Amino acid sequence: MIRRLTENDREMCFEYVSGKPAENLFIIGDIEAYGFDTAFQKLWGDFDSGGSLNGVLLKYERNYIPFSYGEFDAAGFAEIMKADPEWKILSGLGEVTEKIEPYLSGEEKKRLFYYAKCDRLTGKGTFEKVKKASPSEAEKIIELYGHIEEFSTNENVESRRRNMEKGVARTYYIEEDGKMVSSASTGAENTLSAMVVGVCTLDAYKRRGYASQCMLNLCTDLLQEGRELCLFYDNPEAGAIYKRIGFKDIGMWTMYEREAR
């Protein structure tokens, strides 16, 4: 049976998803930030005959994320999405979304990413050259991203500064010649986990180990705070760098995007 979750279900739902904090980074963060009944966020639960959760479905704005440890009413979750004229994106662990895929139209654009997490570093050391950015340096971060060819982001300076001030994002960086040349950041931080994003170095400063140094300082601090780390990647070369410092693949993250209507 599927029903809408309410604030009365918070403890049960949080206990369910927090069993895998890295895998459920977005669901955990959105529950903590926005709860169960806002204009742009809703949650549903699929329950067995004994009243235990089989799966959870989150809607955040036009995006849906499902999670389950095993079998769940995939057809029912698909019907909720298809009945929503706002629905644009379905994303989640491949082992979960593949159960919903047969009930979609088949016209959605599908993309696959490697999903990796880290709960212990194998890389060593922290580096004095690496600095932690303050919210006042948000403009420098966005300027750096603008020079990275493979980056495409709609984030602006105001959004970056706001997220840093709120404590859901941070950036560690290296400066050379009076400018930010390499960085590693987080997004969607919550009490249990954080997403590593924005790992980059300007072309002229590559092959110096700067990105790895930024990553090590960032990850060291987050792990000391008791948070699991996760990230997406689709570039095997980048994946090799992450694995050297302690990240391990935990599956594929799948995204289905509907054509604009």
The reply to whether 123 and 73 lie within a common domain is no
Q: Which of 17, 65, 63, 12 is nearest to 40 (CA)?
A: 63
Residue with tokens 């769940």: 72
Q: Does residue 67 register a pLDDT over 90?
A: yes
* pLDDT band, residue 19 (cuts 50/70/90): very high
The reply to whether 43 and 128 lie within a common domain is no
The reply to whether 100 and 124 lie within a common domain is no
The Cα–Cα gap between 225 and 200 comes to 24
Number of structural domains (the chain) is: 2
What's the confidence (pLDDT) of residue 260? Answer: 66
**Where does residue 188 fall: left (phi above 0), alpha (psi -120 to 50 degrees), or beta otherwise?**
left
Domain assignment present for 160: yes
Domain assignment present for 100: yes
* pLDDT band, residue 153 (cuts 50/70/90): low
Residue 208 belongs to domain spanning: 118-251
What's the confidence (pLDDT) of residue 7? Answer: 97
Domain assignment present for 112: no
Q: Is 255 in a helix, a strand, or coil?
A: strand
Domain assignment present for 21: yes
* pLDDT band, residue 183 (cuts 50/70/90): very high
The reply to whether 65 and 167 lie within a common domain is no
Q: Does residue 99 register a pLDDT over 70?
A: yes
Q: How far is CA 20 from the centre of its chain?
A: 13
Q: Does residue 31 register a pLDDT over 80?
A: yes
Domain assignment present for 73: yes
Q: Does residue 108 register a pLDDT over 70?
A: yes
Question: Worst-scoring range by mean pLDDT, 52-56, 165-169, 202-206, 217-221?
Answer: 165-169
Domain assignment present for 176: yes
The reply to whether 100 and 179 lie within a common domain is no
What's the confidence (pLDDT) of residue 124? Answer: 78
Pairing of strands 53-60, 41-47: antiparallel
* pLDDT band, residue 238 (cuts 50/70/90): confident
The reply to whether 81 and 201 lie within a common domain is no
The reply to whether 81 and 170 lie within a common domain is no
Question: Worst-scoring range by mean pLDDT, 28-32, 148-152, 211-215, 222-226?
Answer: 148-152
Query: 32 exposed, middle or buried (CB, 10 Å; 0-12, 13-18, 19+)?
Result: middle
* pLDDT band, residue 2 (cuts 50/70/90): very high
The reply to whether 100 and 155 lie within a common domain is no
What's the confidence (pLDDT) of residue 182? Answer: 98
Where among 47, 79, 104 does a domain terminate?
A: 104
Q: Which of 174, 181, 168, 177 is nearest to 227 (CA)?
A: 168
Counting residues of the chain whose pLDDT is more than 70, the rounded percentage is 98
Q: Does residue 62 register a pLDDT over 90?
A: yes
The reply to whether 246 and 155 lie within a common domain is yes
Are 30 and 41 in contact by the 8 Å Cβ rule? The answer is yes
Q: Which of 61, 62, 59, 56 is nearest to 17 (CA)?
A: 56
The reply to whether 43 and 152 lie within a common domain is no
What CATH number is given to the structural domain containing 178? Answer: 3.40.630.30
The reply to whether 82 and 131 lie within a common domain is no
Q: Does residue 61 register a pLDDT over 80?
A: yes
What's the confidence (pLDDT) of residue 80? Answer: 98
The reply to whether 169 and 97 lie within a common domain is no
Q: For the chain, first and last CA: distance in Å?
A: 31
Where among 44, 69, 104 does a domain terminate?
A: 104
- Mean of per-residue pLDDT scores for the chain: 94
* pLDDT band, residue 261 (cuts 50/70/90): low
Domain assignment present for 259: no
Where among 104, 127, 156 does a domain terminate?
A: 104
The Cα–Cα gap between 138 and 198 comes to 13
Domain assignment present for 113: no
What's the confidence (pLDDT) of residue 20? Answer: 94
